[in-house]
Amino acid sequence: MRTFEYEALDRNGRTRKGVVSADTARAARRELRRKQLMPVRVDATDTNTGAGAGLSLQRDHISGKDVSLVTRQMATLIGAAAPVEEAINTVAAQAEKPSVKRTLMAVRTSIMEGHRLSDALSQHPKSFDRLYCAMVAAGESSGHLGAVLDRLSDHLERSQKLRSKVRTAMIYPTALALTAIGVVIALMTFVVPKVVDQFDTMGQTLPALTRLMIILSDGMRDYGLIIAAGLAVAVFAFSRALKLPAFRFAVDRLLLRLPLVGKLVRGLNAARLARTLSTLIASGAPVLDGLRAAARTVTNTVLKSSIETVVTMVEEGASLSTALKRVEGFPPMVGYMAAAGENSGRLDDMLAKAASYMEDEFENITSAAVSLLEPAIIIVMGGVVATIVLSILLPIMQLNTLALG
């Protein structure tokens, strides 16, 4: 069936607008008359029919960058007092990607059928996650949807910027590491065997380092595919095991105990929690509801368990700052800034400042680590290549010594 947007007059002469599903425009008009509505205008809003349309919507997925852009555009239009349905229609009309246009038109159709914006967005979980919908729902409940969308777009843009910086910073070290691995594999599987063959006819005992390199070279040449397959199976098994709650919890606990990685994981998750909670509270959501929604941004299961403890303590009457100080895992700054916000009545501002500080700290540490990673890879690569070259040169030096003797 197709979807038709209609404008009709009811029995009292008032204009009614909405959406109706029917096979043809004539059938849509007949359905309107059955509902005692006089059709004035009936226009098709989709081009897909039947199961194909449903499958198309299921396949549509809006990237994080597109969601951020769409949110900013909706915030601008709704903040300018445009109706939600018209704002979404305007954003969809200027969307360049078909998937974005189809998804927004589906959201618009749901709104015209009487659903709230948050409910319409929740029908597309691949594009708009539960946290996004919770923040939109908070804005609808508080009557400040435009302001909430503006804060949400700031949040999404900041998150996209942080992910983009980390991704960009890792391109060169990753390419360098892959090149180094390729060079070592080429040396061990092609160069070393051919050079070593020249020493087999001399009847001399080769140095220990050379014999070790020969063993490694033979192993890589004879069992390289088996080793690669084993590594692939191990990676696949590890990724599957991460879906088991107990194993994931153990891995996350190990990550928190690592010297530098643990600090980064704590800081990043705490920044997400503080930033999201700040946005929700500023949008008019109660602290407890905001805390439940913000907990979804915490990816580390150990820290998520701590947040669940915080939620329980707040439900029992404890303040947010007290609960945050009592649980382990999060940086002390979160609890202290929450206490300052509760005392001053500016909890959202204090949490936002805490989030900004931790995001800056994460960015600085990440930048420093990446800058140190590049020379570390070069040093390791140079050491490995030097060892291989030395294993080849040692027999030659040994022969020269015997010849001189």
pLDDT at residue 135, rounded to an integer: 75
For residue 346, tell me if it sits in a domain: no
Domain that holds residue 8: 2-44
pLDDT at residue 45, rounded to an integer: 62
Task: Looking at the structure, tell me whether residues 143 and 79 fall in a common domain.
Answer: yes
pLDDT at residue 52, rounded to an integer: 41
pLDDT at residue 263, rounded to an integer: 87
Given 158, 180, 204, which residue is the final one in a domain? 158
For residue 108, tell me if it sits in a domain: yes
The whole-model pTM stands at 0.65
For residue 182, tell me if it sits in a domain: no
For residue 204, tell me if it sits in a domain: no
Provide the CATH number for the domain around residue 75.
1.20.81.30
3-state secondary structure the chain: CEEEEEEEECCCCCEEEEEEEECCHHHHHHHHHHCCCEEEEEEECCCCCHHHHHHHHHHCCCCHHHHHHHHHHHHHHHHCCCCHHHHHHHHHHCCCCHHHHHHHHHHHHHHHCCCCHHHHHHCCCCCCCHHHHHHHHHHHHHCCHHHHHHHHHHHHHHHHHHHHHHHHHHHHHHHHHHHHHHHHHHHHHHHHHHHHHCCHHHCCCCCHHHHHHHHHHHHHHHHHHHHHHHHHHHHHHHHHHCCCHHHHHHHHHHHHHCHHHHHHHHHHHHHHHHHHHHHHHHCCCCHHHHHHHHHHHCCCHHHHHHHHHHHHHHHCCCCHHHHHHHCCCCCHHHHHHHHHHHHHCCHHHHHHHHHHHHHHHHHHHHHHHHHHHHHHHHHHHHHHHHHHHHHHHHHHHHHHHHHHC
Q: pLDDT per residue over 348-362, tens digit each? A: 889 889 888 888 888
pLDDT at residue 84, rounded to an integer: 87
pLDDT at residue 58, rounded to an integer: 46
User: How many domains does one find in the chain?
Assistant: 2
Q: Which residues of the chain have pLDDT under 50?
A: 47-59
For residue 33, tell me if it sits in a domain: yes
